[in-house]
């Protein structure tokens, strides 16, 4: 209609106006979903309802060899009866390519500003033009040979793309992409192909009249692989998994860490999955329940998302549809990062609602939050949220989506909003690592959140509410405040107000090189309408981070907690920001400064599976800043930063990408300079 939606990198605009992450209902029955990683335009009223709907989806992904550092993978769904009415690449063939090239300014949907940005990065002085004459088909071996590296060859490409041998066309494109990138983007080409497989698998009967729909419930758990001493035998190893309960029936799914086995109890014995999930790592387990009693169990490796195993099985009566979701419960243990339940109803308008899936008592009792998607006729657009993270030595991805680093120790304001009546602070502790020179690096070892008149503090694996240690579980406090506690994670959610709700998630991990033996990562979510008036590291940049230092006399940490942390971190009173401006050195130089020296190639090996460029650079720095003492924790923390906003089986395929920062995004124009100018 009259609406133009544009996607350039991770920036989405509607009629030229930048949109924050969220779901919007636009004029003419158009629904827009946008985030850093994906945007979806669904035209609900484009065709009569009996014929289906039109949907356009684009995933933004990092691509090192792209002039813009990103690429977009696009997917279009049309009712088949309408295909004849469409033109373009989606309906044409190889011989129709030239006819789809647009050179008339009046036909181009991109704004002149966006077009100028793209042309300046991509086009030679002569401009972006269509190819002239007949295109030749290049042989794969010639594309590989053009890289000039004997290790980049057809056999290496086949090894990288082995998972797609059963789908000839996708296997061919994976091979070509592998060689055309000269292996700079080896893992990326595999990820793109996996996404294409997922898109092809998800194609539904959008071109048929409404029929009885098949509802699905997706239960996803991030499970930390561990083996307890004295448990399990070679023939019956101890499994890491969870149990579903429904209608008086139970189903247990698991994998056996340090083996290549997984099982569904009562359905089949241990099955070979093809790889061994690493101990101490959070892996993704998903069960898809369907009304037709044909269900699926999926295991996705936590360090390499291209390692996926799934099996279908039959079990009657487990899932009777969305109306019976309350009968579904989950038994979990304290090793789980999160639990997500989702109900998918094809061809319906989906609206997000919060739901707590009951977790059966299992010492220690753990109640986990879940998000449920149910059919709804509600037409009110959802409130868009902005997100901020702090992790590692320390790195911040602020509300403006810019990643920056800062030095210094002591108490810092992370995020504060008067409208949300919320403030979050972190306590940074200097790392006591033997290094040449005087560079001081630090990590967050304490986190505190004040919502209204309630203060929640996490020090290591203990959580206090107003100074009193709380047991694990879901705590509903006065004023609509909820606190969800486990050993490793604490989630604080403020009350629902007109603008939405604020949320702070604090995680704890063991860390050998930390003076307290632990480290915290903190994730903040704030309604986008409130970030303009908020303060803290989440609104700062590299040059302004030190302005967020908070005096311990006015901090929201209890005096006893501050004294405890200072005794461990700054016994000489050294908890303070660095004097003057400090530039982060290169990770290679930090590794060289370790005593004894640490080889930088070990850092590269630890971080090689982090698909996001900026987060991978931060991972390299953290490895060297800790002199390799916490390699596993550094890799896991980095993977969580990439995955934190995604809750489906492709969680670890998500990447955060460079964006062109708008002046009103609140990002420091200098931020990200120390990571090659990359923003997330």
DSSP single-letter state for residue 124: -
Q: Is the CB of residue 187 less than 8 Å from the CB of residue 609?
A: yes
User: Is the confidence at residue 621, as pLDDT, over 60?
Assistant: yes
Stronger pLDDT, 280 or 383, i.e. the higher one: 280
CA distance 617 to 624: 11
Residues in the chain: 680
Return the minimum-mean-pLDDT range out of 55-64, 456-465, 588-597.
55-64
Average pLDDT, integer, range 109-115: 86
- What per-residue confidence (pLDDT) applies to 423? 94
Average pLDDT, integer, range 623-642: 75
Residues 6+ apart with CB under 8 A from 619: 392, 603, 606, 607, 610, 634, 635, 638
What DSSP string describes 473-538? EEEE-GGG-EEEE-SSEEEEEPPPBTTB--EEEEEEEE-TTSTTSEEEEEEEEEEGGGGGG-BSGG
- What per-residue confidence (pLDDT) applies to 522? 92
Residues of the chain with CATH 2.60.120: 216-228+237-375
- What per-residue confidence (pLDDT) applies to 464? 93
Mean pLDDT comparison of 186-195, 615-624, 626-635, highest-scoring range: 615-624
Q: Is the CB of residue 2 less than 8 Å from the CB of residue 28?
A: yes
Q: Is the CB of residue 602 less than 8 Å from the CB of residue 628?
A: yes
Average pLDDT, integer, range 632-645: 64
Average pLDDT, integer, range 70-99: 75
- What per-residue confidence (pLDDT) applies to 349? 27
Handedness of CA 476, 478, 482, 484 (dihedral sign): negative
Q: Can you read off the two tokens belonging to residue 53? A: 């709907």
What torsion do the CA atoms of 342, 348, 353, 354 make, to the nearest 10 degrees?
-10
Q: How confident is the model at residue 646 (pLDDT cuts 50, 70, 90)?
A: very low
Number of H helices, E strands in the chain: 10, 35
Topology of domain 216-228+237-375, per CATH?
Jelly Rolls (2.60.120)
- What per-residue confidence (pLDDT) applies to 186? 56
Element (H, E) at 168: helix 168-180
Q: Is the CB of residue 216 less than 8 Å from the CB of residue 186?
A: no
Q: Can you read off the two tokens belonging to residue 37? A: 């990683």
Triad 297, 298, 303: Cα angle to 5°: 155
What DSSP string describes 25-93? EETTTEEEEE-SSEEEEEETTSS-GGG--EEEEEEEEE-TTSTTSEEEEEEEE--GGGGGG--STTT--
User: Is the full-model pTM beyond 0.75?
Assistant: no
3-state secondary structure of 333: coil
User: Is the confidence at residue 584, as pLDDT, over 70?
Assistant: no
Element (H, E) at 549: strand 549-550
Average pLDDT, integer, range 389-410: 83
What is the phi/psi pair of residue 585, to 5°?
-75, 175
User: Is the confidence at residue 420, as pLDDT, over 80?
Assistant: yes
Strand partners of residue 443: 429
Instruction: Label each residue of 239-300 as H, E or C.
Output: CEEEEEEECCEEEEEEEECCCCEEEECCCEEEEECCCCCCCCCEEEEEEEEECCCEEEEEEE
User: Is the confidence at residue 351, as pLDDT, over 50?
Assistant: no
Query: What per-residue string of b and e applies to 537-556 under the rule 16 or more CB within 10 Å gives b?
Result: bbbbbbeebbebbbebeebb
Tens of pLDDT, residues 528-569: 888 888 899 998 887 788 888 998 888 999 999 999 998 888
Tens of pLDDT, residues 251-275: 888 888 888 888 887 766 778 898 8
Q: Is the CB of residue 260 less than 8 Å from the CB of residue 273?
A: yes
Nearest Cα residue to 569 out of 579, 561, 557, 581 = 561
3-state secondary structure of 158: helix
Tens of pLDDT, residues 11-64: 888 888 888 777 777 777 788 888 777 788 887 654 444 456 678 888 887 777
């Amino acid at each position: 209609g009259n609406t133009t939606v544009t996607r350039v990198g991770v920036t989405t605009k509607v009629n030229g106006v930048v949109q924050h992450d969220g779901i919007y209902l636009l004029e003419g029955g158009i629904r827009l979903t946008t985030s850093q990683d994906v945007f979806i335009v669904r035209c609900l009223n484009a065709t009569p309802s009996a014929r289906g709907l039109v949907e356009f989806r684009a995933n933004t992904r990092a691509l090192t060899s792209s002039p813009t550092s990103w690429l977009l993978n696009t997917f279009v769904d049309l009712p088949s009866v309408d295909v004849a009415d469409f033109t373009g690449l989606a309906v044409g063939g190889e011989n129709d390519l030239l006819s789809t090239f647009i050179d008339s300014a009046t036909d181009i949907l991109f704004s002149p500003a966006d077009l100028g940005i793209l042309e300046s990065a991509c086009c030679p002085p002569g401009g972006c033009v269509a190819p002239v004459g007949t295109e030749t088909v290049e042989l794969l071996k010639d594309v590989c040979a053009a890289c000039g590296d004997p290790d980049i060859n057809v056999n290496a490409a086949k090894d990288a793309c082995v998972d797609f041998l059963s789908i000839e066309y996708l296997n061919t494109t994976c091979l070509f992409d592998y060689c055309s990138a000269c292996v700079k983007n080896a893992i990326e080409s595999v990820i793109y192909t996996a996404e294409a497989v997922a898109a092809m698998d998800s194609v539904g009967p959008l071109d048929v009249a409404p029929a009885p729909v098949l509802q699905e419930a997706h239960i996803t758990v991030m499970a930390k692989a561990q083996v307890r001493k004295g448990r399990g035998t070679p023939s019956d190893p101890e499994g890491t998994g969870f149990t579903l309960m429904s209608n008086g029936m139970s189903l247990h799914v698991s994998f056996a860490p340090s083996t290549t086995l997984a099982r569904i109890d009562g359905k089949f014995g241990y099955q070979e999955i093809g790889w061994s999930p690493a101990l101490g790592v959070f892996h993704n387990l998903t069960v898809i329940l369907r009304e037709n009693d044909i269900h699926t169990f999926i295991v996705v490796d936590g360090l390499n998302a291209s390692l996926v195993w799934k099996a279908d099985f039959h079990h009657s009566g487990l899932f009777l549809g969305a109306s019976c979701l309350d009968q579904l419960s989950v038994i979990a243990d304290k090793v789980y990062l999160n639990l997500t339940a989702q109900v998918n109803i094809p061809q319906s308008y989906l609206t997000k609602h919060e739901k707590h899936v009951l977790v059966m008592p299992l010492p220690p009792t753990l109640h986990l939050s879940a998000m449920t998607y149910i059919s709804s006729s509600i037409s009110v657009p959802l409130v868009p949220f902005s997100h901020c993270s702090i992790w590692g030595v320390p790195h911040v991805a602020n509300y403006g989506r810019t990643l920056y680093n800062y030095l210094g120790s002591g108490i810092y304001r992370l995020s504060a909003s008067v409208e949300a009546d919320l403030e979050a602070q972190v306590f940074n502790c200097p790392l006591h690592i033997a290094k040449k020179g005087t560079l001081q690096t630090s990590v967050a070892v304490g986190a505190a959140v004040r919502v209204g008149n309630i203060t929640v503090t996490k020090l290591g694996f203990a959580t206090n509410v107003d100074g009193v240690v709380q047991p694990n579980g879901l705590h509903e406090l006065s004023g609509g405040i909820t606190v969800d506690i486990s050993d490793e994670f604490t989630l604080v959610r403020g009350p629902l107000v007109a603008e939405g709700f604020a949320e702070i998630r604090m995680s704890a991990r063991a860390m050998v090189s930390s003076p307290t033996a632990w480290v915290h990562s903190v994730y903040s979510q704030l309604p986008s309408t409130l970030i303009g008036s908020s303060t803290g590291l989440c609104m700062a940049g590299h040059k302004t981070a030190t302005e967020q230092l908070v005096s311990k006399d006015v901090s929201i940490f209890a005096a006893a907690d501050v004294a405890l942390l200072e005794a461990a971190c700054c016994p000489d009173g050294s908890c303070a920001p660095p004097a003057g401006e400090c530039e982060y050195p290169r990770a290679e130089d930090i590794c060289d400064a370790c005593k004894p020296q640490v080889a930088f190639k070990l850092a590269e090996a630890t971080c090689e599976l982090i698909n996001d460029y900026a987060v991978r650079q931060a991972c390299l720095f953290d490895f060297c800043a800790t002199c390799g003492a916490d390699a596993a924790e550094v890799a896991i923390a980095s993977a969580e930063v990439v995955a934190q906003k995604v809750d489906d089986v492709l969680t670890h395929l998500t990447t955060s990408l460079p964006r062109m920062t708008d002046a009103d995004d609140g990002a420091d124009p200098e931020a990200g300079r120390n990571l090659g100018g990359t923003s997330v």
